[in-house]
Structure 1
Amino acid sequence: MTTTVEITRFRVSPEHTAELLAARGGMIADFQADRDGFLGAKLVQLPDGEWLDIVEWRLPADFAASRTKGGNLPGIQAFFALIDELVSTEEGTLR
């Protein structure tokens, strides 16, 4: 079985790390409630204030539908608001 993987690299000011981690649960809960095909997510802290968010989707169409919704719910908005800079976003296939 293959799944679609969303890989997003972003920067957060070090003084907002605790807030980012606290907001993560609300974002995940909103994704579970509102995003068909959401399978799970992992957040990786990198050096120099960078983060890597790895999100798994059942199908490419599920990921595409999620992107059109953007930050449509409070938990997602709270997490997104802490991001200072979006470095990159990629889509791949987990095999």
Structure 2
Amino acid sequence: MTTTVELTRFRVSPQNTTNLLAARQEMLADFEADRHGFLGAKLVQLSDTEWLDIVEWAGPADFAASRAKGGNLPGIQAFFDLIAEVVSVEEGTVR
């Protein structure tokens, strides 16, 4: 079975790290409730300011539908609001 993986690299001010981690829980709860095909996510801290979010989707259509919704729920928007800069977004296939 193949799945789609979303790789989003972003920057957060170091003083917002605690808030980011707290907001993460609400964001994941909103994804589980509202994003069809959401399979799970891992957040990797790369440096004091840079992070990599690895999100797994059942397929590319689920990833595309999620992107179209954006920050449609409070938990998702609160997490997005803490991001100072999106560095890159990539999509791949897990085989």
Output the TM-score relative to the length of structure 2. 0.99
**Structure 1 residue 47 displacement after superposition:** 1.3
> Is residue 2:64 matched to residue 1:78?
no
The RMSD of aligned alpha carbons is: 0.5
Q: For the residues of structure 2 that align with 1:46 and 1:58, how far apart are their CA atoms?
A: 26
Q: For the residues of structure 2 that align with 1:23 and 1:80, how far apart are their CA atoms?
A: 9
Matched letter for residue 32 of structure 1: E
Measured against aligned partners, the alpha-carbon deviations of 1:24-62 in whole angstroms (never above 9, x if no partner) come to 000000000000000000000011410000000001000
Q: Percent identity?
A: 79
> What are structure 1's unaligned runs of at least 5 residues?
none
Q: For the residues of structure 1 that align with 2:47 and 2:70, how far apart are their CA atoms?
A: 27
SS at match of 1:29: helix
Matched letter for residue 85 of structure 1: E
Tell me which residue corresponds to 1:63: 63
Q: For the residues of structure 1 that align with 2:71 and 2:47, how far apart are their CA atoms?
A: 26
Q: For the residues of structure 2 that align with 1:73 and 1:49, how far apart are their CA atoms?
A: 25
Q: Tell me which stretches of 4 or more aligned residues in structure 1 moved more than 3 Å.
A: none
Tell me which residue corresponds to 1:41: 41
Tell me which residue corresponds to 1:23: 23
